Amino acid sequence: MAHDHEHAIGADADRRLLGWALALIVAFMLGEVVVGLVIGSLALLADAGHMLTDAAAIGLALLAMRLAARPAAGAYTYGLKRVEILSAQVNGITLAVLAVVFVVEAVRRLLDPPEVPGGTVAVVAAVGIAVNLAAARLIGRAQRRSLNVAGAYWHILTDLAAFVATLVAGLVILVTGWSQADAVAALFVAALMATAAYRLLRDSARVFLEASPRGIDPAAVEAAVLALDGVTGVHELHVWEVTSGFPALSAHVLVDSTADCHERRVVIEALLDERFAIDHTTLQVDHHDEVLPSTSSGRGLRPGCDHPAH
């Protein structure tokens, strides 16, 4: 059996950069909530709600990276690396719930719009754009291979687009007096939230359901292994993702009776690493004529082909 325990995951994301981004987001969010409540702007409150999920996303990212960096121990043979994926799923659910809340409130305000000072909305939105640009720049310099960090980055980008919409709404109210523009901007923010929620929930669900990583086709992997000299069969091939950027593979490979099992294993490992970027493998390699005829999957073996663990 071959085991490569060199794990390269998103835990190398720069915590300091995320910490500065979190400080920016929280400071502005608190100010925005106060202004939104004072002037009665749903668009600003929706933006603040989205920024709350931004702060939660970054905070969870920092916590998840710390937990994921802990070494494997006891029952957790992979450590706590999937905490990152759990964090991404929590962020997605939070975004989905907030999107529904703001859609309901925006529809109510479209039917009965309150008076909203457009100038104040525009000024706060302009500051929000600057804050989100700074936060996006900080997180953009971190390692976004992690789904968890990528989730925080998407939060910031969608919030940036939301502030642009809010700025436009504020200017429309200021110039035309059409107060419904505030609710329309809130609906736009809710749509961005729903889109981001879908992406996070879809990608995290793939990891939890142990689907093959995006960009890796198990059929193509099997074909590539079968194409190697001496390989006669591939059984029980599984490709999954332990956490973001940590693909893993296990398989039972049969080779010709004249081939060296261990030499073929090394060649297969090199192929998987170079062509598919899979460097964590568990391979059982046997001579095909040493497999009991009654087992089509190749699990029953006669003594003769030794398989030391690596």
The residue ranges of every structural domain in the chain are 2-208, 218-290
pLDDT at 237: 96
Q: Is the pLDDT of residue 122 over 70?
A: yes
Name 182's Cβ contacts closer than 8 Å, sequence gap at least 6: 41, 42, 43, 109, 113, 116, 121, 169, 173
- CB-based contact 244:145 (threshold 8 Å): yes
pLDDT recorded at residue 243: 81
Give whole-number Cα distances, 144 to 23, 76, 256, in Å: 19, 25, 43
Q: For 2-208, CATH number?
A: 1.20.1510.10
Is 238's pLDDT higher than 70? Answer: yes
pLDDT over 50 at 7, yes or no: no
Mean pLDDT: which of 51-55, 81-85, 88-92, 277-281 is highest? 277-281
Cα angle 282, 286, 292; round to 5: 120
Give Cα 278 to chain centroid, integer Å: 18
CA distance linking residue 222 with residue 226, whole number of Å? 6
- Separation of first and last alpha carbons in the chain: 7
Of the ranges 92-96, 100-104, 155-159, which one carries the lowest mean pLDDT score?
A: 155-159
Confidence of residue 296 (pLDDT cuts 50, 70, 90): very low
pLDDT for 160? 84
Q: Quote the pLDDT of residue 230.
A: 93
Residue range 196-221: mean pLDDT, rounded: 91
- pLDDT of res. 144: 54
Name the one residue in this structure whose structure tokens are 């706590």: 80
Strands (E), the chain: 2-3, 231-243, 246-255, 281-287
Evaluate whether 165 touches 188 at the Cβ level (below 8 Å).
yes
| pLDDT for position 43 | 78
Query: 218-290: which CATH number, 3.90.1520.10, 3.40.250.10, 3.30.70.1350, 1.10.579.10?
Result: 3.30.70.1350
pTM greater than 0.85: no
Phi, psi of 114, deg, nearest 5: -85, 170
Rounded Cα gap, residues 67 and 55, in angstroms: 18
**pLDDT score for 51:** 80
The rounded distance, in Å, linking the Cα atoms of 135 and 145 is 18
**Nearest CA among 54, 79, 71, 63 for reference residue 161:** 54
CA dihedral 103, 105, 110, 116 (to 10 degrees): -120
Q: Percentage of the chain with pLDDT > 90?
A: 28
Tell me how far apart the alpha carbons of residues 265 and 308 are, in angstroms, rounded to a whole number: 11
* CA angle (108, 177, 33) in 5-degree steps: 55
Report residue 147's pLDDT band, with 50, 70 and 90 as the boundaries.
low
Please compute the mean of the pLDDT values over residues 215-231 and round it to a whole number: 95
**Is 98 or 201 the better-scoring residue by pLDDT?**
201
Mean pLDDT of the chain: 81
Phi, psi of 286 (to 5 degrees): -135, 155
Instruction: Check: CB of residue 218 under 8 Å from CB of residue 226.
Output: no
pLDDT confidence tier of residue 284, bands split at 50, 70 and 90: very high
